[in-house]
Amino acid sequence: MKKTYFGTDGIRGRVGTYPMTADFILKLGWSAGRVLAKEGKSKAIIGKDTRISGYMYESALEAGLSAAGVHVHLLGPMPTPGIAYLTRALHAQLGIVISASHNPYYDNGIKFFSAQGSKLSDDIELAIEAELLKTMQTVEPAVLGKAKRIHDAAGRYIEFCKSSIPLMTSLKGMKIVIDCANGATYHIAPSVLDELGAEVVSIGINPDGLNINQAVGSTDPSLLVNTVLEQKADLGIALDGDGDRVIMVDHKGNILDGDEILYIIAMDRLKNKKCIGGVVGTVMSNFGLEHALQTVGIDFIRTPVGDRYVLEMMDKKQYLLGGEASGHIICLDKTSTGDGIISALQVLFAMFQGNQSLFELTQGMDKFPQKMINVKLEKEIDPLQDKQVKEAVKEAENSLQSEGRVLLRASGTEPLIRVMVEGKDNIQVCSLAENIAKVVASICTE
């Protein structure tokens, strides 16, 4: 069966526009409680990022879960991976995240975690959607769910992050700029680095409900680059609004995306003779990552874009590392889901252990020039099936021959068509991507 509401990363949309309305989220909480919890005996935890709409959705979910007989523990602002961890640590049957990740403040979304701290299966999401079709009924008053706040949630998660690297690891002598995107990590990431001994310069730590991801964070690292250079820092770390993505900046101001971070972590595991099985990337992963890993004997497999597909393949192949160029890195030997802070710590440990700079750790990987252009989809059509688009793609592939690739895909979270071209020559890559994007735009806006 095809899902109506759930996308590749939960349910997401513009605040106040269906389905991101208060009444729908109320019923969503009730429906999820009905599917995943036992009346009067189960509990769910709810965390959120710093969007102003989080207050509204938190209250709606709390009411819906209570009506289904589910006890609720409220975490307040908390990174998505922190909610996954605390779902396990607090023995909850359900973890709920209120966040639209890297999107602007006027969007929001709902994500769910199972009792194991992992994304829900398609079957469970379909079961929740089936409950949404039913009339909402409240349990008997004696078994209504109760709610309480968990006041030490941040401290618990900080300790968990620090435990992902060896106890004696010290970041003393490192000057690190951390950009928290005015999001859910603003009160956590700086403390993690400070407690490990680093000299910390923090930016993007003043959320006001409206400035999440605004000119800061992993989607806009320009301020981070400038701050690293101005402060003469050893490196910079940028997280996104809900803390599950990370990019880094070396002391020269070079931006490292998820492919390079994944390479560093994989090579560190190899150096320490830790078996990871292989690495899972996506169709967007740079060919340079695949080539560098295969050169040292590490298997590399691609999946469609989306961390759930990466995780599914990791489970299937029993691989322990996977991720996306966007900075969503999954270290299954450390935690159950993508975690920006924990991924950054794995890189910092590699620097500490090898006494190497971030710049030095990337020298074994040569990235292919890659150009991606987002084309806004303004009407209900599939430009990927259009004859003119197919011809433009074929022409580009012929130009690249066997030394590059073309990829067009629809975004799973936004009304966009992503046009990506990769090859050895940057000028050619940019030209081909722009040509294809023009054709796609002409179809999408006619």
Question: Which pLDDT tens digit goes with each residue over 346-356?
Answer: 999 999 999 99
Per-residue pLDDT, averaged over 15-43, amounts to: 90
Q: Tens digits of per-residue pLDDT, 146-177?
A: 999 999 999 999 999 999 999 999 999 999 99
Look up residue 404 and give its DSSP letter. E
* pLDDT at position 443: 82
Mean pLDDT, residues 389-416: 87
How far apart, in whole angstroms, are the C-alpha atoms of residue 37 and residue 40? Answer: 9
In this prediction, residue 40 has a pLDDT band, given cuts at 50, 70 and 90, of low
Q: At what angle do helices 340-354 and 258-271 cross, to 10 degrees?
A: 50
**pLDDT value at 38 more than 80:** no
Q: Which of 31, 101, 326, 399 is catalytic?
A: 101
Averaged pLDDT, 258-273:
97
Note the pLDDT of residue 36: 82
For residue 446, pLDDT over 70 is answered with: no
Contacts of 135 (CB under 8 A, 6+ apart): none
Q: What is the CATH number of domain 157-361?
A: 3.40.120.10
**Parallel, antiparallel or unpaired: strands 235-239 and 246-250:** antiparallel
Q: Please determine, for residue 393, whether its predicted confidence score (pLDDT) is greater than 80.
A: yes
- Interatomic CA distance for residues 318 and 312, integer angstroms: 10
pLDDT higher for 97 or 287?
Answer: 97
Q: If you average pLDDT over residues 27-33, what whole number do you get?
A: 97
Question: Which residues, 6+ apart, have CB-to-CB distance to 261 below 8 Å?
Answer: 246, 247, 248, 323, 327, 329, 343, 344, 347
Domain ranges of the chain: 11-151, 157-361, 370-444
Same fold, 157-361 and 370-444: no
- The pLDDT tens digits of the residues spanning 361-385 come to 999 999 999 899 999 887 777 878 8
Collapse the DSSP code of 433 into the 3-class scheme (helix H, G, I; strand E, B; otherwise coil) and give the result. Answer: helix
What pLDDT score was predicted for residue 39?
A: 53
Lowest mean pLDDT among 3-12, 260-269, 426-435: 3-12
Mean pLDDT of the chain: 94
Strands, E assignment, 6-80: 11-14, 43-48, 71-77
Ranges 148-152, 224-228, 422-426: which has the least confidence: 422-426
- What are the residues whose beta carbons fall under 8 Å from the beta carbon of 446, sequence distance 6 or more? none
Least Cα distance to 226 among 193, 203, 192, 242 occurs for 203
Residues 21-27: contacts with CB under 8 Å, at least 24 apart: 22/56, 22/57, 22/60, 23/60, 25/57, 25/60, 25/61, 25/64, 25/110, 26/60, 26/61, 26/63, 26/64, 26/136, 27/64, 27/132, 27/136
Q: What is the pLDDT of residue 1?
A: 74
Which distant-in-sequence residues (6+ apart) come within 8 Å of 49 by Cβ?
77, 79, 98, 99, 100, 183, 184, 212, 241, 242
Q: How far is CA 204 from CA 82, 143, 224, 272, in A?
A: 19, 43, 9, 35
Q: Assign domain 370-444 to a CATH class.
A: alpha beta
Q: What is the largest CA-CA distance in the chain?
A: 70
- Give the model's pLDDT for residue 23: 98
319 vs 424, residue with greater confidence: 319
Is the pLDDT confidence value at 239 over 90? yes
* CATH for the 11-151 domain, from 2.20.28.90, 3.40.120.10, 3.30.450.20, 3.20.20.10: 3.40.120.10
235 Cβ contact partners less than 8 Å away, ≥ 6 residues apart:
174, 176, 177, 228, 248, 249, 250, 251, 351, 357, 358
Structure token digits, residue 54? 């989080």
pLDDT at residue number 9: 83
Any catalytic annotation for residue 218?
Answer: no
pLDDT band at 415 (very low <50, low <70, confident <90, very high): confident
**Which tens digit of pLDDT belongs to each residue from 92-135?**
999 999 999 999 999 999 999 999 999 888 899 999 999 999 99
Q: What share of the chain in percent tops pLDDT 70? A: 98
Cα angle 176, 249, 437; round to 5 = 150
